[in-house]
């Protein structure tokens, strides 16, 4: 299959599974990633995020169908990695190297890497070209890494927990560079994280994994249309619960600090009991990924 | 980081925020709006969301698209915004404020216009 046959989709996965021995880390997932999207891959630790990303760059053998940029990620891995870049969660840059040496190294390694572009991206940051990797802070390191990867003229970027362990300013700078320098309406990026609140507003789409299964694959625009939340008073809590919401939760102290999320519009008499809200991704995440045994203790 | 509440869609909140800045003359009338990517980077928003917000401001007649150049603040945008805000204050905020003043027995003579601008 070539790129023309897959149309606008950069990624097409159908009935994809990845097993480690008897354990299915990724369990029969199907999704597509079109051009120009910012896709969040959300899931708790162990949900299968890293495994799925590894399969996408040919580092884990998968069953089912997976077409990346029109290519087979295992058999055509070299060609794929010319057009798709990946920062794994365990990524490290060599501590002894200077930043300008890394640029030279990348120039030799990657046919689509632009040294000029890397230097231009690094000017946004406080990282100097003569700085040694070992002298950089965690936040600077993440930015340097992103600058090196974003200097590759690729179609898809895959980032596994890119901001884990960074402070708030470093995370902001990281995402700022990503949005500003990478997202041009053509390229797409897949970001895994469990810091859901923070990246909600950045995303165009969300893939939600729970114990290897894809529990939600939706654009944020459709999410706003499909799911509705209502804040309500404790006095009507029972009526709200009787309408079978996905989740009921507290939004604040006092009798008015209750909310319920519904998949689809609840009946008008139920809607009249509360005030309509935009359902946040983090609430939906909790609703769709909580473990059944937590059900009883939740309220 | 910028926080967005759950009462309204994010694009609407951004449109309100940009409108408030336009009212303060940022950017001034006749000048170019920042690019979608610049706004997306500044507010850490998906560019599609920024597009929707700008679209909303365009629909209100505050921004105009100049072919090949991008979006510009329409001359007269501030006056238009001020008129809308005035209307909103008189229609929504003032009745509530008036009721509260009455409940607190505060008369016009007790209100002062002095103080910081």
Q: Say if B111 falls within a structural domain.
A: no
What SS3 state is found at B1? coil
The string of pLDDT tens digits covering residues B46-58 is 999 999 999 999 9
For residue A168, how many other CB atoms are within 10 A of its CB? 11
Pairing of strands A188-193, A227-232: unpaired
C-alpha distances out from residue B67 to B64, B70, B71, Å: 9, 7, 9
Q: Which residues of B touch A (CB under 8 A)?
A: 1-2, 4, 6-10, 37-38, 40-49
pLDDT band at A294 (very low <50, low <70, confident <90, very high): very low
Which chain A residues have a beta carbon less than 8 Å from that of B38? 180
Q: Is A236 exposed, middle or buried (0-12, 13-18, 19+ CB in 10 A)?
A: middle
pLDDT band, residue B117 (cuts 50/70/90): low
Query: With an 8 Å Cβ cutoff, are B38 and A180 in contact?
Result: yes
Residue of A nearest to B41 (CA): A176
Choose, out of A201, A274, A282, the residue to mutate when testing the contact with B (most B CBs < 10 Å): A201
Mean pLDDT estimate for chain A:
90
Contacts of B51 in chain A (CB under 8 A): none
| CA pair distance A76, A138, nearest whole angstrom | 34
Residue B112, both tokens: 């002062």
Q: In Å, what is the CA distance from A112 to each residue of A43, A70, A117, A150, B44?
A: 32, 18, 11, 11, 28
Q: Is residue B83 part of a domain?
A: yes
Please give the model's pTM, rounded to 2 decimal places. Answer: 0.86
Residues on chain A touching B6 (C-beta within 8 angstroms): 229, 251, 277-280
**How distant is the Cα of B112 from the closest Cα of chain A, in angstroms?**
36
Q: How far apart are CA A43 and CA A194, in angstroms?
A: 6
Helix extents (H) in A84-216: 99-109, 115-122, 138-150, 168-177, 196-199
pLDDT per residue over A218-248, tens digit each?
Answer: 999 899 889 999 999 999 999 999 998 988 8
Q: Could you give the number of structural domains in chain B?
A: 1
Cβ burial A79-95 (10 Å sphere, 16+ → b, else e)? ebbbbbbbbbeeeebee
Give the pLDDT band of residue A299 (cuts 50, 70, 90).
very low
Q: A283: nearest CA in chain B?
A: B6
Burial B4-14 (b: 16+ CB within 10 A, else e): bebeebbbbbb
- Between 3.40.720.10, 1.10.490.10, 1.10.340.30, 3.40.50.300, what CATH number should domain A3-211 receive? 3.40.50.300
Note the pLDDT of residue A141.
92
For residue B112, the model assigns a pLDDT of 85
Q: Can you give the pLDDT at residue A6?
A: 46
ipTM of model over 0.85: no
> B38: domain CATH number?
1.10.10.10
User: Which residue range is the domain that position B69 belongs to?
Assistant: 1-105
Contact A38 B9 (CB under 8 A): no
Query: Residue A133 has what pLDDT?
Result: 95
Partner B contacted by A172 (CB < 8 A): yes
Distances (CA, A) of B56 to B13, B19, B49, B71: 11, 10, 11, 12
Q: Which residues of chain A neighbour B4 with C-beta distances below 8 Å?
A: 201
Whether residues B6 and A224 touch (CB distance < 8 A) is answered with no
- Domain boundaries defined on chain A: 3-211, 226-298
Of residues A175, A185, A220, nearest to B44 (C-beta): A175
Could you say which of B1, B7, B9 has the minimum Cβ distance to residue A224? Answer: B9
């Amino acid at each position: 299959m070539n790129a023309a046959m897959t149309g606008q989709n950069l990624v097409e996965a159908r009935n994809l599974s990845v097993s480690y021995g008897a354990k299915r880390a990724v369990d029969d997932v199907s999704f597509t990633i079109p051009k120009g999207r910012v896709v969040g891959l959300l899931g708790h630790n162990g949900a299968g995020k890293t495994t799925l990303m590894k399969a996408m760059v040919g580092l884990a053998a998968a069953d089912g169908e997976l077409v990346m940029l029109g290519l087979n990620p295992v058999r055509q891995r070299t060609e794929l990695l010319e057009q798709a870049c990946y920062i794994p969660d365990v990524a490290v840059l060599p501590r002894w190297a200077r930043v300008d040496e890394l640029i030279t190294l990348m120039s030799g390694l990657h046919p689509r890497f632009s040294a000029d572009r890397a230097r231009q991206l690094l000017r946004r940051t406080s990282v100097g070209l003569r700085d040694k990797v070992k002298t950089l802070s965690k936040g600077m390191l993440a930015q340097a890494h992103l600058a090196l990867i974003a200097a590759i003229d690729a179609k898809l970027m895959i980032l596994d927990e890119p901001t884990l362990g960074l402070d708030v300013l470093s995370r902001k700078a990281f995402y700022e560079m990503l949005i500003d320098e990478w997202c041009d309406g053509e390229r797409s990026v897949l970001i895994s994280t469990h810091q859901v609140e923070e990246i909600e507003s950045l995303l165009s789409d969300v893939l939600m994994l729970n114990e290897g299964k894809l529990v939600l694959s939706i654009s944020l625009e459709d999410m706003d249309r499909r799911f509705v939340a209502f804040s309500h008073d404790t006095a009507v809590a029972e009526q709200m619960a009787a309408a079978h919401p996905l989740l009921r939760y507290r939004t604040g102290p006092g009798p008015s600090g209750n909310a319920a999320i519904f998949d689809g519009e609840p009946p008008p008499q139920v809607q009249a009991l509360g005030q309509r809200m935009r359902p946040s991704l983090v609430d939906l995440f909790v609703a769709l990924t909580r473990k059944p045994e937590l059900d009883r203790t939740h309220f | 980081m910028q926080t967005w509440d759950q009462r309204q869609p994010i694009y609407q909140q951004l449109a309100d925020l940009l409108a408030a800045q336009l009212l303060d003359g940022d950017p001034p009338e006749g000048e170019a709006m920042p690019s979608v990517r610049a706004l997306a980077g500044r507010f850490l928003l998906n560019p599609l969301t920024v597009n929707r917000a700008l679209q909303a401001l365009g629909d209100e007649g505050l921004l105009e698209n100049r072919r090949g150049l991008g979006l510009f603040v329409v001359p007269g945008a501030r006056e238009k915004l001020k008129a809308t805000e005035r209307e909103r204050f008189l229609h929504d905020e003032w009745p509530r404020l008036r009721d509260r003043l009455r409940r607190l027995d505060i008369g016009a003579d007790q209100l002062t216009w002095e103080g910081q601008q």
